[in-house]
Structure 1
Amino acid sequence: MGLEIWFTVLVLAVGVERLAELVVSKRNAAWSFERGGVETGQGHFPFMVVLHTGLLVGALVEVWVRRPDPPAVLVWTMLGLVVASQALRWWCITTLGPRWNTRVIVVPGLAPVTDGPYRLFSHPNYVAVVAEGVALPLVGGAWVTGVVFTVVNAGLLVVRIRVENRALAGLAA
């Protein structure tokens, strides 16, 4: 099989993983709302959904249209980074437990989480997002998608992290 086929399988697998995240997120959001959770930052959320969907679609389109031939060392290195970013993302999800979701919902009275990757830095999930946003397209040689996603995502993360920091500032220490 050619790179295009293998890359399509990888992107579809990441897409299925995203759907699994949405199922977990919906369940966890309900848990938070049942406990008086307050959502903030709804305005940027639709843009985030479009951007992350665009990463997957854009990478596939670029690989099938341009038919790049990336060096094997790049393919394997970036694939390793994609796997590592998925591991970090799920470490974040399991560490936050029912408090994790794709929105910014804070349950009043709960202390901030400082275990797992959160003991190392404040926003580890976004490290995973940035790494994957670069690495996933590069597995297939879709450097244009990687660059566009990275630049646009940087602006989105500025907004998102500010919203999260403001929401989390009200939690008990």
Structure 2
Amino acid sequence: MSLFWAVFVFLIFQRLVELRIAKRNEIWMKQQGAIEFGKEHYGLMVAMHIAFFVSLMLEVILFKDTANQYWPVILGLFIITQAFRVWIIKSLQRYWNTKILVIPNAKVIKSGPYRWMKHPNYLVVTVELLLIPLLFNAYLTLCLFFVLNQIILSIRIPQEEAILSQWTEYGTEFEEHARFIPSLSKKE
């Protein structure tokens, strides 16, 4: 199996596992009284991620691109990114989800990478949308989906932060944290 198909199958399997975890967590959170927000853009986000995989596959197949000449380095960065993703999911535990679900007055989690930044999960997705196409010289996919992801995040992140601030102590707990750049402030 080529490197492309190995990575592609891994990613599809990983996303299916994540969706299963998210659904299980969603059921638990709603049993705890969680409220769902962001339905109006969630479908767009899902469609963008599906289109990313289709675009990646088509670009690699149609242009018969091979792995980037620096593929070992890029693949290493990708593996580190996946370890970071697992750390994020383990840190949030039952609160990790692909949807915006908020349990009113729930304690805000500030463990794992959340000790230093507000949105490590969005950082991981953004880095992936750069590394995966770069790994296979799929530059059209890289440019298009990097821009689309930024558009969606420009809608989702402010909405998520406003909702969390309204329903939890998020605003107070994360006031000194940057969105994506780790904050090493003394106040923990």
TM-score by length of 1: 0.93
Deviation at 1:139, TM superposition (A): 1.1
Q: 4+ residue runs of structure 1 moved beyond 4 angstroms?
A: none
Separation in 2, partners of 1:11, 1:40? 31
RMSD, matched Cα: 1.3
- 2:131 maps to 135
Deviation at 1:40, TM superposition (A): 0.6
Q: Deviations over 1:27-52 (max 9, x none)?
A: 00011100000111111111111111
- 2:97 maps to 101
Match of 2:59 among 47, 58, 62: 62
Separation in 2, partners of 1:85, 1:43? 29
Separation in 2, partners of 1:71, 1:58? 17
The DSSP-based 3-state class of the residue aligned with 1:61 is helix
Q: In structure 1, give the amino acid aligned to 2:148.
A: V
Deviation at 1:55, TM superposition (A): 1.4
Deviation at 1:89, TM superposition (A): 1.5
Q: In structure 2, give the amino acid aligned to 1:145.
A: T
Match of 1:52 among 49, 54, 65: 49
In structure 2, do the counterparts of structure 1 residues 76 and 165 end up closer, same or farther at CA, with 3 Å as the change threshold? same
Q: Deviations over 1:67-108 (max 9, x none)?
A: 1245421x2222122212211111111100001111000111
The DSSP-based 3-state class of the residue aligned with 2:101 is strand
Gaps of 5+ in 1: none
Say whether the 8 Å CA contact 1:8–1:60 is kept in structure 2.
no
With a CA cutoff of 8 Å and minimum separation of 6, indicate the structure with the bigger relative contact order. Answer: 1
Match of 1:110 among 97, 106, 110: 106
Say whether the 8 Å CA contact 2:85–2:121 is kept in structure 1.
yes
TM-score by length of 2: 0.85
